[in-house]
Amino acid sequence: MEESESRGYRFGAFRLDPHERVLLCNGLRVPLPRKALELLLLLVAQPGRTLSKIELMDALWPHRAVHTNSLLVAVNALRSALSTRMLGAQFVETVPRRGYRFVGAVQRTAAPLDTPSPVPRPGPRAAAQGAPEVFVGRTRELQQLLLLFEQAREGRGQLALIRGAAGMGKSALVRCFARGLAEGGHTARIATGRCLESHGSSAAYLPILDALAGLLAGPHGASLEAQLELHAPGWCESFPELFADGGSHRAPSLEAASRESLPWQLARALSAWSSAQPVVLVLEDLHWADPSSLDLLRLLCAHCRTERLLVLGTFRPRAPGLSGEATPSESALEALSACALSELAHEYALPLLALVPLDLTELVSYLDACLPENELTPSLPELFLRKTGGVPLFAARWLQVLRERGQLAQRGRWVLARDISELEGSAPDSLEAVIRHGLAHLPTTIQQALAFASVEGDEFRTCVLAEALPGSTLELARELAELARRDGWLVHVGQEELPDGVLTERYRFAHVLYQNVLYDGLSRQRRISLHRRAALTLEAHGCGRHSRFLAELAWHQERGRRFSRAVATLISAAEHAARIAAPREALLYHARARTLLAQLPQSEQPTGLQLLHRQQELPVPAGL
Ligand SMILES: Nc1ncnc2c1ncn2[C@@H]1O[C@H](COP(=O)(O)OP(=O)(O)O)[C@@H](O)[C@H]1O
Ligand SMILES: [Mg+2]
């Protein structure tokens, strides 16, 4: 294709660089399938002139016989990309029985498209650090997030919610947004905190503590620590593990701590801290949020409206189809979180970004980005859309399966090694099935290690896993690192120090559905024995004496059927929750302990009852 001598073109809100092959809309990169971009280059170089179908097909597919449908697919992809971003404006006109022409004013520009995209897609820097994360579509959502950030920077903060089913791309969206802020030169302090599905769901402030730990370990950690000491002494006292020195240098300021609730203290500390630079808190998977975190969110809804604080909360809808109905597997806590979130959204008219599946154009861009230099039939993206429903995680895993099976092969260019009808027949029929297919491809020892890891939860530690597996710990560590680096099953979270001083690596399943599938595949007996082993390992590392581990330890003890131990741990957890004024968590632990007591043999009941009695003597915290 002949390139224009000029450096680029402008039309409407778009800028097109033929050399870099980049299309921007209001500074944001517009993903376009390769052929659609080439078509645009042809049309825009001769605005107003009708280019015949033959002429276009010869230019786009030289020396290849292709069906005219291919041209139509490219035209449709181009039209849809341009019109959704320009509210329906049409640039590509059909000239009946002749061809297509570009309508609208085109300006040639000599300068390169040097305007940095405020929310760029993963760039070469990301690629240099390892496999770049492919991210397509979601332009509207990214623009919305950028707008919210700009408002927060001006002191009009918000809590915004991002809703989408499992695997719909909530985490990928916030990651892309956060990376875009950094790459776009925006100064912001960004942290992510996660709610955990398993044991964590009743541990007070879990996602907030996770986010604070990230911020405190970051480059501005010292200034945050100073603000917490000043405005949130209750946090310093209740969560000493947040601080590198274990909070030892801090004089407890009980008077200040009791004057204001923990949520208020934190809100004040964040206000003071964000005056220097805006703060973005991403709280992931709020459908598993603990009651204290939900209380804090409620407070932040009102509080951050005059602050430089943007809180982004991701959550799953309660039931597929967004009907709002509970699913049979939904826990009481999930139902509670869902109600609290919808109440908040309604009461404060919170911005809600509802993620929908990727469409055909976006899937075309996705396949083009994952398989650069390809010669794939246009019916492949259509098949992807039909089989995966456009759910990004489903599409990503199926693509990986096709590569691993050699059904997609790189022969100079990526090609389909089988007939498309064969793919149609062998395609997995659900997201869970495609995850199982992918797991089956891994070596048996790795499959076994991951299945054991799933017992720990969506996050796991190598030291616990090593206890349950034969073979050397070193070999295991190497295999896990490889799995995180190469195959995308795991994410390395970091190192963790256990109460006895032992350092262990911590990993997370790249998606919680992987953990769900693996855990579901274990027999009941196997689960019990592995939970028991996990409980014993944690006990041996002193986790029963440390508040941070109590919820998790009790969960393993209960599932490992060490009920007597579990009751004792739950009572300690309830006492801790009451001490930090987290009354609802205290009650949840208490209720769980009561249920378990009923399962204890008669001989152990008195001890359990004594423990419960102790708990009942605790003052019921204010607020209940
Ligand atoms: N917009 C997107 N473009 C390309 N891939 C995506 C996109 N959104 C999600 N994915 C893929 O799907 C996977 C699951 O997405 P994730 O954000 O973890 O889902 P969720 O958080 O909604 O459960 C990601 O790891 C990524 O591979
Ligand atoms: Mg997620």
For the stretch 417-427, pLDDT in tens is: 888 888 888 88
CA of 47 relative to ligand 1 center, distance in Å: 38
- The alpha carbon dihedral of 313, 315, 317, 320 has a sign of positive
Is 508's C-beta closer than 6 angstroms to any atom of ligand 1?
no
Atom of ligand 1 nearest to the CA of 369: 4
- Residue 69: the pLDDT is 75
Cβ-proximal residues to 32 (8 Å cutoff; 6+ apart), any chain:
23, 40, 77, 78, 81, 365
Place of tokens 């059927």: 561
Inter-residue contact 510 to 432 (CB < 8 Å): no
CA of 168 relative to ligand 2 center, distance in Å: 8
Q: Hey, which of 140, 491, 511 would you mutate to test ligand 1's pocket, going by the most ligand atoms within 8 Å of its Cβ?
A: 511
CA of 285 relative to ligand 2 center, distance in Å: 6
- Residue 116: the pLDDT is 37
Is 171's C-beta closer than 6 angstroms to any atom of ligand 1?
yes
Characterize 185-216 residue by residue with b for buried, 16 or more Cβ atoms within 10 angstroms of its Cβ, and e for exposed. ebebbbbbbbbbbbbbbbbbbbbbbbbbbbbb
Is 136's C-beta closer than 6 angstroms to any atom of ligand 1?
yes
**How far apart (Å, rounded) are the C-alpha atoms in residues 91 and 414?**
32
**How far apart (Å, rounded) are the C-alpha atoms in residues 36 and 40?**
6
Backbone angles phi, psi at 131, to 5 degrees: -65, 125
**How far apart (Å, rounded) are the C-alpha atoms in residues 345 and 593?**
33
- Residue 134: the pLDDT is 85
Residue 393: is it exposed, middle or buried by C-beta count within 10 angstroms (0-12/13-18/19+)?
buried
Structure tokens, 299: 């407070």
- Bridge partner list, 66: none
User: HSE-up of 478 (CA within 13 Å, CB side)?
Assistant: 6
- Residue 622: the pLDDT is 44
**How far apart (Å, rounded) are the C-alpha atoms in residues 104 and 120?**
27
**How far apart (Å, rounded) are the C-alpha atoms in residues 291 and 294?**
5
Backbone angles phi, psi at 66, to 5 degrees: -125, 160
Is 381's C-beta closer than 6 angstroms to any atom of ligand 1?
no
Atom of ligand 1 nearest to the CA of 134: 4
Inter-residue contact 392 to 172 (CB < 8 Å): yes
Order the strands of the 22-25 sheet from edge to edge. 28-29, 22-25, 14-17, 8-11, 107-109
Atom of ligand 1 nearest to the CA of 169: 17
- Residue 199: the pLDDT is 62
- Residue 580: the pLDDT is 84
Atom of ligand 1 nearest to the CA of 166: 23
- Residue 112: the pLDDT is 54
DSSP conformation letters of 47-61: TTPPEEHHHHHHHHS
**How far apart (Å, rounded) are the C-alpha atoms in residues 46 and 161?**
44
**How far apart (Å, rounded) are the C-alpha atoms in residues 556 and 573?**
14
Which is nearest to 229 in space by CA: 192, 268, 190, 200?
A: 268
DSSP conformation letters of 20-45: TTEEEETTEEPP--HHHHHHHHHHHT
**How far apart (Å, rounded) are the C-alpha atoms in residues 197 and 141?**
26
- Specify whether the backbone of 495 is left (phi greater than 0), alpha (psi in -120 to 50) or beta: beta
Is 168's C-beta closer than 6 angstroms to any atom of ligand 1?
yes
Cβ-proximal residues to 599 (8 Å cutoff; 6+ apart), any chain:
563
Q: Hey, which of 175, 393, 403, 516 would you mutate to test ligand 1's pocket, going by the most ligand atoms within 8 Å of its Cβ?
A: 393
Cβ-proximal residues to 490 (8 Å cutoff; 6+ apart), any chain:
480, 483, 484, 507, 508, 509, 510
Three-state DSSP state, 77 = helix
Looking at this protein, which amino acid is placed at residue 364?
A: V
Place of tokens 């920077």: 153
Angle between helices 68-85 and 53-60 (to 10 degrees): 90
Order the strands of the 490-497 sheet from edge to edge. 459-461, 503-509, 490-497
Place of tokens 């492949």: 380
CA distances (Å), origin 330, targets 9, 71, 153, 317, 510: 53, 47, 37, 11, 22
Write the secondary structure of 141-159 as one string of H (helix), E (strand) and C (coil). Answer: HHHHHHHHHHHHHCCCCEE
Inter-residue contact 293 to 195 (CB < 8 Å): yes
Q: Could you count the other beta carbons within 10 Å of the beta carbon of residue 612?
A: 18
DSSP state of 76: H
Residues lower than pLDDT 50 in the chain: 1-6, 87-88, 113-130, 257, 320-328, 619-624
Inter-residue contact 317 to 165 (CB < 8 Å): yes
